[in-house]
């Protein structure tokens, strides 16, 4: 769509008052859509540049491939054992 700014302003000025609210809502929708697209792009860029996150993802893939995945019960058991180890270390 090739409409310059002045032409767009002229078209908007010709909109009847009863339709202006609908146009205003549409402009708000376009602004929200643009902001959402910008945020999604920033998220992708920031995630791709996060070295720690990339390392965690690779470690998670490796854990899955080697069967080091915990279900709910085994995960809780593992966490409890780690807490007990930590607490025993604190008693020294």
3-state secondary structure of 89: helix
Stretches where the chain sits below pLDDT 50 are 92
Dmax over Cα atoms in the chain, in whole Å? 81
Predicted local confidence at residue 84, as pLDDT = 92
Question: What are the structure tokens assigned to 54, written together?
Answer: 């990339």
Write down the pTM of the prediction. 0.37
pLDDT in tens, 55-67: 888 898 898 888 8
Contact 69, 63 (CB under 8 A): yes
pLDDT in tens, 69-80: 878 888 888 899
| Helices 17-49, 51-65: inter-axial angle, 10-degree rounding | 70
């Amino acid at each position: 769509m090739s409409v310059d700014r002045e032409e767009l302003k002229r078209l908007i000025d010709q909109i009847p008052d009863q339709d202006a609210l609908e146009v205003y809502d549409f402009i708000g929708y376009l602004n929200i859509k643009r902001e959402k697209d910008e945020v999604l792009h920033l998220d992708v860029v920031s995630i791709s540049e996060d070295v720690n996150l990339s390392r965690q993802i690779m470690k998670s893939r490796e854990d899955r491939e080697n069967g080091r995945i915990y279900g709910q019960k085994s995960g809780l058991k593992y966490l409890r054992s780690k807490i007990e180890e930590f607490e025993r270390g604190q008693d020294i």
